């Protein structure tokens, strides 16, 4: 008898939180939150729930997503993706930018419509299509800040108009922050799943069911149905915010977010997307994984394996548009990013704003997806005036990032490593460099970042910083809640004025250095 195939969690490593998915025949589509990054809401395709390929982004135009002035960890929260009668529907919240809205498309890769605004206030909206009706649920104001309620109304999915007033259908199972609710038609009844405990180490998922989408909802006697809060030493923590999908064979699976802390209780890759089976008890109550617990390696769905061609480690910037893996902090400045001005190069024109600012910065980045990895780039940049700089950055937030920059120093052109934590910047190391291109490298290993300049054995180490310095825990201790993982990428800035010199990046390379 052959051994059942297994898969490795997370199925989407790196900063892909609040997953939502739907099935269309043999195809699965998944989206996640994107917060202050643009384009917004990455969308993926799979045939086996394990291997995923990014198709693009749902919100790819400024008319769909204007992030001007949006604070870090603001922007796009928890989307819900559904498919009904040949059309895809996605609802989400633009925190600080207008509230809850709906977009639709015939094809998952788009084009997606401009927003149809539904309402302001609340967050984590969801849609439930049932017997010719569309139900719209979201978090609403409860008796106190820590106990929001789940409100629901019928929705006209064409106009975004609510049909009648919102009603409270769920007050939670007793934990703080009931949120991220989804409704499902399962086993002849309506099931409601929601997260509780806050999206940190007490995070969990709870379930309830009713005979009607309006309730009253009976809580599952075995709640929580997913939680690792009692497994403090486990590699996976903060599990919750689940969404369910039913396969053609009738089995049910859940995607959900979790974190993988390192260096104690510190996580810097962000909240990631995990997968586990859902088992139902004899009396019809769901449980995710084994008794609400999941592992890094688990038995795979009984679907034919479907492998996508692996993405190349190096991007030579030969295409007409950037690959979907790349994102920007907020909307990119007009004219600051070009692929055609110098053949085979990504050209950045530094803007007055820098990575320290909430402003339009020239920055092209991708998510860090592995604890051990190396990223390199080949930069041709000849700064003409003080303040002009370009290079590589590991970004968590405006006041938390690591930069490896080429700029003008007192003695000439130099490469410098800078650590910015808590809003204060400190130079870790610097070296004078001759005219011409230079290779820059940021390496992550043994829970440290190393910032290096030069090629091969001739490279020099300019600085080393513990990864926990960019963790959500370290950042939140000094300010508001931080919901995002780190991104790595190329930037340019004039620090107060536009750059006169372009920064030309010949290629960018990202390579995992080992199994996480």
Three-class secondary structure assignment of 20-74: EEEEECCEEEEECCCECEECEEEEEEECCCCCCEEEEEEECCCCCCCCCCCCCCC
Burial of 502 (0-12, 13-18, 19+ CB in 10 A): buried
Distance between first and last Cα of the chain: 30
Burial of 432 (0-12, 13-18, 19+ CB in 10 A): exposed
Long-range contacts of 423-429 (CB under 8 A, 24+ apart): 423/398, 423/399, 425/356, 428/462, 428/463, 428/464, 428/465, 429/461, 429/462, 429/463
Match 């692996």 to its residue by tokens. 310
Find the catalytic residue in 124, 179, 205, 403: 179
What strands lie across the sheet with 237-246, from one edge to the other?
237-246, 252-259, 272-280, 286-288
Match 């989408």 to its residue by tokens. 213
Residue 179 designated active-site: yes
Residue 18 designated active-site: yes
Spacing of C-alpha 219 from chain mean position: 30
Spacing of C-alpha 239 from chain mean position: 15
H or E segment to which residue 84 belongs: strand 75-84
Instruction: Copy the structure tokens of residue 316.
Output: 């030579």
Which of 393, 396, 414 has its CA nearest to residue 404? Answer: 393
For residue 469, give the DSSP letter. Answer: G
Helices (H) and strands (E) in the chain, counts: 1, 39
- Residues with a catalytic annotation lie at 18, 179
């Amino acid at each position: 008898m052959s051994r059942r195939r297994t898969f490795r969690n997370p199925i989407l490593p790196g900063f892909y939180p609040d997953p939502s998915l739907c099935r269309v025949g043999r195809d699965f589509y998944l989206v996640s939150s994107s917060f202050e990054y643009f384009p917004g809401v990455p969308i993926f395709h799979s045939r086996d729930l394990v291997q995923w390929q990014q198709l693009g982004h749902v919100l790819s135009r400024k008319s769909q997503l204007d992030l001007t002035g949006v604070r870090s960890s603001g922007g796009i929260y928890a989307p819900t993706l559904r498919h009904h009668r040949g059309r895809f529907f996605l609802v989400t919240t633009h925190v600080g930018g207008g509230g809850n809205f709906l977009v639709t498309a015939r094809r998952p890769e788009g084009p997606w419509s401009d927003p149809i605004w539904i309402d302001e206030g609340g967050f984590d909206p969801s849609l439930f299509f049932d017997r010719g009706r569309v139900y719209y649920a979201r978090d609403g104001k409860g008796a106190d800040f820590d106990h929001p309620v789940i409100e629901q109304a019928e929705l006209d999915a064409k106009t975004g108009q609510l049909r009648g007033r919102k009603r409270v259908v769920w007050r939670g199972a007793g934990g703080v922050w009931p949120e991220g609710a989804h409704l499902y038609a399962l086993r002849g009844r309506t099931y409601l799943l929601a997260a509780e405990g806050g999206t940190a180490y007490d995070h969990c998922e709870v379930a309830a069911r009713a005979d009607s989408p309006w309730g009253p909802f009976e809580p599952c006697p075995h709640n929580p149905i997913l939680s690792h809060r009692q497994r403090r030493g486990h590699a996976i923590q903060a599990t919750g915010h689940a969404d369910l999908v039913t396969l053609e064979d009738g089995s049910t699976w859940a995607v959900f977010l979790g974190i993988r802390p390192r260096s104690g209780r510190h996580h810097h890759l962000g909240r990631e997307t995990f997968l586990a089976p859902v088992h139902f008890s004899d009396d019809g109550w769901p449980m995710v994984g084994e008794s609400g617990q999941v592992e890094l390696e688990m038995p795979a769905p009984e679907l034919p394996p479907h492998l996508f061609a692996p993405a190349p480690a190096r991007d030579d910037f030969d295409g007409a548009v950037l690959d979907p893996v790349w994102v920007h902090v907020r909307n990119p400045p007009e004219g600051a990013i070009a692929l055609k001005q110098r053949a085979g190069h990504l050209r950045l024109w530094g803007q007055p704003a820098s990575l320290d600012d909430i402003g339009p910065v020239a920055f092209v980045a991708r998510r860090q997806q592995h604890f051990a990895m190396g990223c390199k780039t080949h930069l041709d940049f000849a700064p003409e005036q003080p303040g002009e700089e370009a290079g590589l950055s590991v970004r968590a937030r405006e006041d938390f990032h690591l930069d490896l920059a080429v700029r003008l120093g007192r003695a000439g052109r130099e490469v410098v490593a800078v650590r910015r934590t808590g809003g204060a910047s400190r130079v870790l190391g610097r070296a004078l460099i001759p005219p011409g291109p230079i290779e820059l490298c940021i390496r992550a290993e043994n829970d440290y970042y190393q910032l290096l300049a030069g090629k091969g054995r001739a490279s020099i180490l300019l600085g080393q910083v513990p990864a926990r310095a960019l963790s959500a825990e370290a950042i939140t201790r000094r300010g508001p809640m931080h919901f995002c993982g780190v991104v790595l990428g190329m930037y340019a800035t004039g620090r107060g004025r536009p750059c006169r010199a372009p920064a030309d990046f010949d290629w960018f390379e990202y390579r995992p250095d080992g199994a996480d």
